[in-house]
Copies of this chain bind each other. A is one copy, B any other.
């Protein structure tokens, strides 16, 4: 079969499964998730054997060490996948919630009912745990998933997906609610991105080049996250001890993730005191500093930041530092160079905090907290399928509710329109 036929077949199967999953009750979905956890534990040896094949191929093909680290499974990681499914089973089911049901002058009652999106395509790299996590979230939210993992993880993904499908069958649910694109042919990705007749949304997870390819090629709507250029702005009347704690945490605690800070903005009134203190504290933690002109004057030996630095997501122990005139200038900088991910202000001023919250157009806007909190678990979503820096549908961490939408329901008593 050619790539188009393969995807059309998977798509038609997924659509049929989605039509059934939409109406499955919460208990049945939870039972299937718990069973899937059991099957994963039972088949752990099979999964690890499959993963060993991937690891051999990865080492032969010279896959980078960090990619190999992400690819590798062990007993603990399989157990974590199983526990992840159990956690998803324990989450409240968003589907079916009716809200805002109210009476209209015509006599009808109108309200919203939360419903699954339909068929969700997930395109991801390396980490085989995404196969279980993403399938579990789609299952719980009543959707059908088409999973397209990286070719480097094909054996692992196949083994994990088989466990989920086994659990679906044994729960009398359609096994095609979870399907893996079981081929490493890259043309299949292209076809998946064109399958708007079958697929309702594509969620890419992986490196920048993957996301960019998906965003530029897809005919299907995409929920995506490109960059995390996050800012901490230290206002003129910030508690400077708090500001330092937040800045250090935002930069250093886990520099390689999208909600880590990349640029520190400091109000000029506190720059003399705060900038040298922050720079030295960062340097003591191994952070390389790239500063604006004022920063370089305030601290000897700091390299000057280029225009490029302000728009770079370092994902490393590098930080750009800029002194700004006021909150207005800070927000302008964020609007110009930020990626709409997460930005925080440290301040004691009520009006400035309110203004920052209202005017900064990022998926997460914070006052007096580390950018590192921008996360589905920290926000109480229980689990996340990704993060959106888009403007439509869902912003920030995407949990179960982000995999649903609301339709209108009308309850009448024979009303007709006059």
Residues from chain B with Cβ under 8 Å of A96 in the complex? 358
Q: Given A113-B358, A200-B392, A408-B396, are A415 and B370 also a contact pair (CB < 8 Å)?
A: yes
A245 touches B361 (CB 8 A): no
Q: Given A104-B379, A366-B410, A415-B369, are A392 and B392 also a contact pair (CB < 8 Å)?
A: yes
A378 touches B249 (CB 8 A): no
Q: Given A392-B117, A405-B395, are A410 and B22 also a contact pair (CB < 8 Å)?
A: no
Q: Give the one of A366, A392, A411 with max B CB within 10 A.
A: A392
The answer to whether the Cβ of A407 comes within 8 Å of any Cβ in the partner chain is: yes
Residues from chain B with Cβ under 8 Å of A186 in the complex? none
A412 touches B366 (CB 8 A): yes
The answer to whether the Cβ of A208 comes within 8 Å of any Cβ in the partner chain is: no
Q: How far is the CA of A410 from the CA of B392 in the complex (A)?
A: 20
Residues from chain B with Cβ under 8 Å of A118 in the complex? 361, 391
Is the contact region of chain A dominated by helix, strand, or loop, or is it mixed? Answer: mixed
The answer to whether the Cβ of A362 comes within 8 Å of any Cβ in the partner chain is: yes
A245 touches B416 (CB 8 A): yes
A367 touches B246 (CB 8 A): no
For A358, give its contact among B23, B110, B363 (CB under 8 Å): B23
Q: Given A369-B415, A373-B108, are A115 and B379 also a contact pair (CB < 8 Å)?
A: no
Which residues of chain A from 364 to 407 have a CB within 8 Å of any chain B CB? Answer: 364-370, 372-374, 378-380, 390-397, 405-407
For A392, give its contact among B367, B368, B405 (CB under 8 Å): B405
B415 touches A406 (CB 8 A): no
Q: Given A102-B380, A117-B391, A253-B416, are A365 and B23 also a contact pair (CB < 8 Å)?
A: no
Q: Which residues of A contact B (CB under 8 A)?
A: 19, 22-23, 96, 102, 104, 106, 108, 110, 113, 115, 117-118, 200-201, 216, 219, 221, 223, 239, 242, 245-246, 248-250, 253, 335, 344, 355, 357-359, 361-370, 372-374, 378-380, 390-397, 405-417
